[in-house]
Amino acid sequence: MITIVRAHDYNDMSRKVANIISAQIILKPNCVLGLATGSTPIGAYQQLVEWYKKGDLDFSQVSSYNLDEYRGLTGDHPQSYRYFMDTNLFDHVNIDKSKTFVPDGMAEDYEAACAAYDAAVAAAGYPDLQLLGIGNNGHIGFNEPDDHFSRGTHLVDLTESTIEANSRLFDSIDEVPRQAFSMGVQTIMNAKMILVAANGEKKAQAVHDMCFGPITPSCPASILQLHTNTVLVADEEALSKCGELA
């Protein structure tokens, strides 16, 4: 079941997402957060940092697991997702960095590293709250449209549409890694609550298909219809193809 929360614009979406994450941390100070990167959550992370600085939030007991990482980028590479998390959130709040986990983009024995990541998420009891963006093509994490739903953390060949969408953050499209490690759909579905954020008209079709389309791996986000507690916070543009359905 998907609860749809309407936001006016990006700022409103960000505040609402931050409010829900903040409530989770207040309700359960030692919660496990599943975190996401990309343009979408930046505003929510900024809001969380602001509330932390005001003394309203305490991250000291929080642990986190990120969804994905580019293959071949070290954690100090400015386009790596570890670097993104450090600079957008972790460096600005009192989270214990040793309790923040991002798949290792440099793992040589990557199958063992993926299995270890899954084992760690499972041992942590899976996220209390999993934050997700959604790709223009309906991907969640880097689970791209496919003929089956993925299970655990795995190596992914990124689609041309994702490489193209993410190239805006690199100097040239040739620098965008072609592969990534991603938590699987089954792992994502094990989170107790799933919070999807979406803004902008580029996401409108994916948001429609996620909420109202058939449940199919050709739109990985559509499986969230089967989760008992999915919340979508989306702005007017992202909801523009949902008409009066939403």
Which segment (37-45, 122-130, 186-194, 217-225) binds ligand PGA by CB under 6 A?
37-45
Tell whether residue 137 is a contact of ligand PGA (CB under 6 A).
no
* Backbone torsions φ then ψ of 91, nearest 5 degrees: -70, -10
Closer to ligand PGA by Cβ: residue 29 or 235: 235
Size of the chain in residues = 246
Q: Return the range that interacts with ligand PGA (CB under 6 A); candidates 49-57, 130-138, 208-216, 235-243.
A: 130-138
Name the residue nearer to ligand PGA (CB basis): 8 or 202: 202
What's the first-to-final CA gap in the chain, in angstroms? 13
Q: What span, in angstroms and rounded, lies between the C-alpha atoms of 96 and 80?
A: 20
> Considering the complex, what minimum distance in angstroms separates the CB of residue 170 from ligand PGA?
13
Q: Can residue 133 be called a binding residue for ligand PGA (CB under 6 A)? A: yes
Catalytic: 137? yes
Tell me if 204 contacts ligand PGA by CB under 6 A.
Answer: no
C-alpha triplet 100, 103, 107: angle, nearest 5°: 130
Q: Could you say which of 103, 135, 138, 177 contacts ligand PGA (CB under 6 A)?
A: 135
Closest CA to 5 of 240, 235, 219: 235
144 carries an active-site annotation: yes
- Closer residue to ligand PGA (CB): 49 or 134: 134
Q: Residues 40-59: x/- map of binding to ligand PGA (CB under 6 A)?
A: x-------------------
**Nearer Cβ to ligand PGA, position 58 or 146?**
146
CB of residue 133 to ligand PGA, shortest distance in Å: 3
Active site residue 136: no
How many residues touch ligand PGA (CB under 6 A)?
6
Out of 11, 19, 39, 229, point to the residue binding ligand PGA (CB under 6 A). Answer: 39
Residue nearest to ligand PGA (CB): 38
User: Contact residues for ligand PGA (CB under 6 A)?
Assistant: 38-40, 133-135
Instruction: Please list the active-site residues.
Output: 68, 137, 139, 144
